[in-house]
Amino acid sequence: MRKSSPPPSIDLVLIRQAILDDLPAIRKLEQQSATAAHWAEREYDALFAPEAPRRIALVAANEAGTQQIQGFVIASCAVEEWEIENVVVAPDRRRGGVASALIHELLRNAARRGAVSLGLEVRESNVAARQLYEKLGFSEIGRRAGYYRDPIEDGLLLRISIAVP
């Protein structure tokens, strides 16, 4: 008798608001990624400080109740114009739709809270991120010459309008 093949593994991704206990995993992912924006520990701690600038942090969790995360996105939330400050997916989880799911959820949050646009800045050479944003519908609206260091490189300003729900 032929042995039946095991069922395909299904990676359940839950997108939820980050909590304080997620910070070590968020920092670890960020540090593993050369092209991520790099923040000091105190900047991550400030995410949860009551007097902190308004930000939203979402994580892609493996399942409810665990602090294992596959990726995260952090955005600043001015009233009408939100901005992605960092988005990182674990190297072994890339190309699985995690960043897309995080940004779609961010866009839903932004729409519910009355934002009209979501913007960001990306290194010109960051092909993966640029393709991701293009696929999600972001458009290039400007360029900051020599904005990035190590190596010096232009930053591209991208933006997407948010439909009123």
Ligand X SMILES: CC(C)(COP(=O)(O)OP(=O)(O)OC[C@H]1O[C@@H](n2cnc3c(N)ncnc32)[C@H](O)[C@@H]1OP(=O)(O)O)[C@@H](O)C(=O)NCCC(=O)NCCS
Q: Please report, as ranges, the residues that interact with ligand X according to CB under 6 A.
A: 33, 35-36, 87-89, 94-100, 122, 126-129, 131-132, 135
Distance of closest approach, residue 8 Cβ to ligand X, in angstroms: 18
Comparing CB distances to ligand X, the nearer of 110 and 120 is: 120
Q: How far does the chain reach from its first CA to its final CA, in angstroms?
A: 55
Comparing CB distances to ligand X, the nearer of 59 and 122 is: 122
Distance of closest approach, residue 118 Cβ to ligand X, in angstroms: 13
Q: How far apart are CA 79 and CA 28, in angstroms?
A: 30
Q: How far apart are CA 84 and CA 125, in angstroms?
A: 18
Encoding tokens for residue 135? 């696929």
Distance of closest approach, residue 90 Cβ to ligand X, in angstroms: 8
Comparing CB distances to ligand X, the nearer of 50 and 91 is: 91
Comparing CB distances to ligand X, the nearer of 152 and 164 is: 152
Comparing CB distances to ligand X, the nearer of 32 and 114 is: 32
Distance of closest approach, residue 36 Cβ to ligand X, in angstroms: 4
Distance of closest approach, residue 3 Cβ to ligand X, in angstroms: 32
Coil/strand/helix, residue 25? helix
Closest by Cα among 122, 77, 72, 70 to 96: 70
How many CB atoms lie under 10 A from the CB of residue 92? 7
Q: How far apart are CA 77 and CA 101, in angstroms?
A: 19
